[in-house]
Structure 1
Amino acid sequence: MKYLLLLLVLISFSGCYQVERNCNLYKNGSFYSEIVIDGITYTSRFKRTDNLQVEVFEDKIDSSNVRWINDCEMIFKTINPKNRIEKKDVHLKILTTTDSSYTFEYSYVGESKKQKGIAYTN
């Protein structure tokens, strides 16, 4: 009986915690992101409006149309793709937010392998 009571108390406390996601703070602005892939940290800088993102990564400028699925998810479509990979749309989901950053996961549309990163306000 003690264990049942303890279990009920733990379940009631676990339902009170919610991850903060104020994604509207990150629909427009200047940001930089850090992504770690195979132990290597990659950094990019980008500016985003409601429907356009211009990114600088490894001294290359890339522009994408942005389509918001909901307040915290978007699809990027490269404007002038130069190869097959760039023709693939990218799905990005904001997982958590703070007052100056957000954690996100992204993948090519239709693929299950996801990467995570953090973007910061500039």
Structure 2
Amino acid sequence: MKNFIFSICILILTTSCYNVEQNCKDFQIGTFEFTYEINGETKTGKSIRTDSLSIDYYDNKIDTFTIRWVTDCEFIGRKLHPIDFADSKPIQMKIISTKEDSYLLEYSLLEDQSTKKRGTVKKIK
């Protein structure tokens, strides 16, 4: 039993020392490239983001979102010109971790965790 408790303590100590890199401010503004899947086909999109807008180019479409940063690593996006009620639902985006020129993103419809997905975004400018 003592060995079990000792093992648990060692596990907690080693995992609590691991810090995920988050240099989110480096990724708030710029031009980004991302991949996405439609009907089993992987495609590439592009996003140009300022401090308050994001213009997304994907699947031969252009969408503009207003964005509001909640924290340095999380923002809420709303389509500027939604075509219907479902299209007007806000999207929550969280930067989970960062690397030199990319970040891991977790996104979902706001307050609907069943739509949560992850993807990698690369900063190109």
Residue aligned with 1:11, SS: helix
Residue aligned with 2:107, SS: strand
Give the counterpart of 1:120 among 106, 116, 122: 122
Residue aligned with 2:19, SS: coil
Mapped to 1, the partners of 2:119 and 2:38 lie a distance apart of 10
Write the mapping of 1:1-122 to structure 2, written as runs, cut at 5 A: 1-36=2-37, 39-113=40-114, 114-122=116-124
Aligned 8 A contact 1:101 1:121 in 2: yes
> Percent of aligned positions with the same letter in both sequences?
32
1:35 CA displacement:
3.1
- Distance change >3 Å, CA 18–CA 36, structure 1 → 2: farther
- Distance change >3 Å, CA 7–CA 50, structure 1 → 2: same
1:105 CA displacement:
0.9
Mapped to 2, the partners of 1:38 and 1:94 lie a distance apart of 26
- Alignment size in residue pairs: 122
Q: Which consecutive residues of structure 1, in runs of 5 or more, have no partner in the other structure?
A: none
Aligned 8 A contact 1:21 1:96 in 2: yes
Mapped to 2, the partners of 1:111 and 1:21 lie a distance apart of 24
Q: Kindly provide the amino acid, as one letter, of the partner of residue 19 in structure 1.
A: V
1:39 CA displacement:
4.6
RMSD (Å) for aligned C-alpha atoms: 1.7
TM-score, normalization by structure 1: 0.89
